[in-house]
Structure 1
Amino acid sequence: MVELVEAKKELILKIEIENENLQNLKSIYQRNRSYLKSRLMSLPKYYEKQREDIHKTRARSFLKWKEEIDYIALQLQRQLHDMESEDIIGLKKQEEFFKEKLADIDILLKENKDLKVSNKIDKLVGFKPTSENFTNLPALQEYSRPKFHEKTFEDFKMKDYFGEISGRRLLEYPAYRVQNVEEVKINKKILLKHPSVLYKTNLKSMSIEGGFESLNSIVHFTYNRIWVGERTCLVLVDFNGVLIDRVDTASFGNCLALSSKGYLLFNNTKENTIDEILCDRSFSTIISAGAWVPQGFACTSAGELFVCLYKKDDSKVAKYTETGELISEYQYDKENRLLFTAPDCIAVNVNNDICTTDLGISAVVIIKSCGELRFTYDGKSLSKLKREFLPTSIATDRYGHILIADSNNSYIHVISSEGEFLQLMSLKNSIECPFSVCVADEKFLVIGEKRSGIMYVTKYLKKHL
């Protein structure tokens, strides 16, 4: 009997690990599907805008070259129609794939949930993990969007001077494998002291309307794509800095995050809200903080949202559902002492601890999910620091590392989930001011400099376990 109980415990643990793998895969598949849905929804509007541009040019030139212009415009309209049809077919096919896989994952999660509470030992013994079937993600393919370029004409070369549709490039993002959950010992030996720079891009050189003033926040989206927060707009770029998408906002604070469904969230410090950008590019308010100003926030794969809030001389961290329902607040410890003075950025690590940068005390505060203080890190014992430790951004990875951008000293501090200092990380060619950090695909550390607008994509691990 004892052996059966132990065997059941081992099988239940195996199921729990499998469910964690499936939940992680579900989040990734949802993120990719939401991106494809967003592109599908924006395609008709984009192509309609190109058609409108063609029509306006045609109208301006109509009196002089009516017959010839009609012919050219018709050919271009047909060309756009064929491209649009091809784009929609390709994106729908890929979106349908992720939709089907998500349905399969939901079925498996339900079956595993029922199996966990089942008393049928034969079914438990016969359990076989299936997440391996979903770990290989296909390559995503989409054409870059064609754009109508208006031209003026002064001679008889009508088509040359009226305009043309720019050629499209097939943008393919390589397939990759998602690593499953596994036990990994925290080991400073897997960290590179000087991360190697794989890509370096100056986002200020991007050709976008209104220019690009400063890099305020970054978050990894999917494949090799990064959402970047600027003063009045949010841009999606790849590792090479190629502009893929743009969303204009009336007000953006200093933080971006992705919901468990793959939607982009940003803080609106004018309205004291956290807003969600839907597939049709409309905004939906998730959290209205009232008199509290939302600063940094982080989402978990379980659908929890942790937000740093402040007003005047008061501050706290609040935990919400992704629909905006308040779950709990963290402000005082058991002795009624303040946990934070000025929480600014936040992340959740592998232990489900809440990791917060506190600018009021120039430190990082780590608390347990129950609200108990775990430890505080201020970097004061490090002789290499020439100036006061200034933590402006924080990220975590699956290996238990907590990575902290120190803008005053041009270092990335790396500590373990237990508070052990592991190392100071710097680039070989130095970073002027590491303002934002995020981990991409558990392989890359992305570092953003606010003032210069430079984004580094680096390899920071000696190997990927």
Structure 2
Amino acid sequence: MDPRTSAQDVMRCDLCETAVVQMHCDTCLVNLCTACVGKHMISDESKRHEIVPFKLRKSTPLYPGCTFHDKEQCEMYCNQCDIPVCATCLASDQHLGHKLLKILQVLDEKRDKIIKEQTELNDTIYPTYQDIASDVQNRMSQLEKEYGDLSTAITKHGEDWHREIDKLVKKLKAEVDEMKNTQLQTLQKHLDEINKTMSDIKDEINSSYTVVDSNEISKLFNFTTVIETYKNLPHKIVLSLPKFRPDKIQGKELSKLFGSLSSSSLTSDKHGYSMKRTQKSTEAGSSPPVKQLLDEPETVTTIDTGYDRLYSVACLSDEEIWTSGNGSTMKLYSINQGSLLKSITTMSGNRPYDIAVTKSGDLVYTDYIDRTVNIVKNEKVEEVIRLQNWIPTGVCSTSSGDLLVILDSIDRKPTKVVCYSGSTEKQTIQFDDKGKPLYSCSYSGRYITGNRNLDICVSDYVANAVVVVNQAGKLRFRYTGHTPAPKNKPFTPQGITTDSQSHILTADNNNECVHIIDQDGQFLRYLDSGLKNPIGLCIDTNENLLIAQNHKGQMKKIKYLQ
């Protein structure tokens, strides 16, 4: 397979580094071509090399070495002594009369226990911490509002007084700010601890995946989990807000006359949170089935959309897809038939910058000239958000039904991502922990999507990077491309999407390919399949990738997962 014309990178022999991998040594975990098998076999004659076809790699069990007899492998397990034993051990009188089991049977039981705990971490404990984090964030927002109302009440009462009492008003408001900051800092610390624990849980889950998938028995024996630690949920922070009680003017001492603040409080309620219980169907659990990337992706269909330039695609279902290009009309196509089903024209007559489909199936688009975000309901366009000093570009819909919108400033302030519930701002993401902008300042080349783990992924064309933050807006990583690129040109990410495996896929227009990385930013492979100027991306309900090819005005559907 020629890597210059193949759809994805191929794996090379670890010895010669040129030939395509065909075999695998399960003993040494080395990838080999057929020509290098013999060379590898004689490289270390002290080992019993298990050479298998590459597709059957890790199929040979790696028995642990005996701690008492060098070069002996333990294929049995002494239940009484709780240790693996080799044939020489069994020939001695040391384990006479003991209950012996096949070590693979013991390992299966150990594996089942790990998988059970892994499932509990995935399906119960981690979602519980997600709910706790969301609860703390919501209460922080409510706290901001209520303290704002409190400050407003003090200000309103202060307007009835002469200027000489302004200092007293400022003093009381400073006390309010101090109380608010104290409580917010406490909640923020609480949230940081929860997020740290959630990160630890994910690390534990990833570690268990690695151990479960490994064929190294010693790893399975040595693996221990700390699941009980995470079952002890954190105490819930209980807040008590101060109240402002104004006094009437009756000649009292000024400080007493104006009013006072009651004290605020912070307590911890150990029973404030309860473990989330997930109900699973008998057919499928909450986690999606594991799907591997195809060795050779398949182009299923190509649709000519009629645009001179095609920019964005958004799946309505596995049979219907919305498209937008160099015009004010957004078109709904039948994917299987390639026929036009419906057309919607923007309210302003401008071309949409980006389009998305909401959880309820409505079409959303951004109008970067009119500075609006709009939704199409029953074929009627409704304005949802109108902005003054900000320009909306990329947009996507979250699993909770909110909208994530990329906003560029008209006065060159740092670009930000805003989460909207309807027309209400819920969250703003703009800076990292060091106060530096997360995104470049520009008016083009940015798309956005959400991942299954609730990360927010932005393709930043100007910065040549994919920027990924977690649900709380904390920077997780920046992906800046992989070398060698198919055309050896700079990485220029544009359209971006994710799939059920939490893969992040982004279109690289310069190199006319799609980069596939995992949820932690590790490069997996390229996908080109003869692409021309790919820009917009989306995944349909059957896990096919749909790609907007800009200059051709064509939409291509590709099957890339098993």
TM range (shorter): 0.5 to 0.7
Q: Does 1:220 align with 2:320?
A: no
Residue deviations 1:322-377 (CA, integer Å, cap 9, x gap): 41110111111111111110471001111111110112211111111222211111
Alpha-carbon displacement from aligned partner over 1:381-438 (angstroms, at most 9, x marks no partner): 33544211111110001101000101111111000001110001110xx111111111
Deviation per residue, 1:167-188 (Å, 9 max, x gap): xxxxxxxxxxxx7631556x7x
1:46-65 maps to which residues of 2 (within 5 A)?
none
Higher relative contact order (CA 8 A, sep 6+): 1
Q: Provide, for residues 98-155 of structure 1, a one-character-per-residue CA deviation record: whole Å limited to 9, x for no partner.
A: xxxxxxxxxxxxxxxxxxx9x9xxxx8xx965696xxxxxxxxxxxxxxxxxxxxxxx
* Other-structure match for 1:387: 489
Asked whether the equivalents of residues 466 and 478 of structure 2 are also in contact (C-alpha less than 8 Å), the reply is: yes
Tell me the residue number matched to 1:62: none
Q: 1:452 to 1:372 in 2, by over 3 A?
A: same
User: Shift in Å at residue 282 of structure 1?
Assistant: 1.9
Q: Which residue in 2 is equivalent to 1:339?
A: 438
8 Å CA contact 1:353, 1:369 repeated in 2:
yes
Gaps of 5+ in 2: 1-115, 131-270
Question: Does residue 195 of the first structure (1) align with residue 290 of the second (2)?
Answer: no
Q: Structure 1 residues 264, 383: closer, same or farther in 2, change over 3 A?
A: closer
Aligned length: 296
Aligned CA RMSD, in angstroms, stands at 3.3
Matched, 1:299 2:397: yes
Do residues 410 (structure 1) and 410 (structure 2) align? no
Percent identity over paired residues: 25
Q: How does 1:157-196 map to 2 (within 5 A)?
A: 181-182=286-287, 190-196=292-298
Q: 1:334 to 1:425 in 2, by over 3 A?
A: same
| Alignment TM-score, normalising by the size of structure 1 | 0.58
Amino acid at match of 1:182: S
The one-letter code sitting in structure 2 at the alignment partner of 1:283 is V
Separation in 2 of the partners of 1:305 and 1:128?
28
2:340 partner amino acid: L
Q: Distance in 2 between matches of 1:459 and 1:340?
A: 32
Gaps spanning 5+ residues in structure 1: where? Answer: 1-5, 21-116, 133-178, 205-211
Contact residue 372 and residue 385 of structure 2 kept, 8 A? yes
Match of 2:382 among 284, 292, 296: 284
Q: Which has the larger radius of gyration?
A: 2
Letter of the structure 2 residue corresponding to residue 440 of structure 1: D
Number of the residue aligned with 1:370:
472
Cα 1:255–1:324 change in 2 (3 A) is same
Correspondence list, 1:445-464, <5 A:
445-461=545-561, 463=562
Partner of 2:77 in structure 1? none
- Distance, in Å, in 1 between the alignment partners of 2:121 and 2:440 is 45
**Preserved CA contact (<8 Å) 2:296 2:560:** yes
SS of structure 2 residue aligned to 1:375:
strand
CA distance in 1, matches of 2:455, 2:279: 31
Inter-partner Cα distance in structure 1 for 2:537 and 2:505: 8
User: How many angstroms apart in 1 are the aligned matches of 2:486 and 2:409?
Assistant: 35
5 Å matches for 1:72-91?
Answer: none
For the residue of structure 2 that corresponds to 1:216, the secondary structure is: strand
In structure 2, the partner of 1:63 is: none
The alpha carbon displacement at 1:289 in A equals 2.2
Secondary structure of the 1:314 match is coil
Note the C-alpha offset of 1:253: 2.5
Aligned twin of 1:423: 525
Within the candidate set 317, 320, 338, 1:241 is matched to: 338
Aligned match for 2:460, one of 345, 358, 364: 358
| Cα deviation code 1:188-217 (max 9, x no counterpart) | xx112542111112222xxxxxxx332121
2:535 equivalent to 1:435? yes
How far did 1:15 drift?
11
Match of 2:137 in 1: none
For 1:317 and 1:10, how far apart are their aligned partners in 2? 36
- Which one has the bigger helix percentage? 1
TM-score, structure 2 length as denominator? 0.48
**8 Å contact kept, 1:318–1:326:** no
The answer (yes or no) to whether the contact 1:347–1:395 under 8 Å persists in 2 is yes
Is 2:409 the partner of 1:311?
A: yes
> Aligned equivalents of 1:264 and 1:372: distance in 2?
29
Instruction: Classify 1:183/1:129 alpha carbon distance in 2 versus 1 (closer, same or farther; 3 Å).
Output: closer
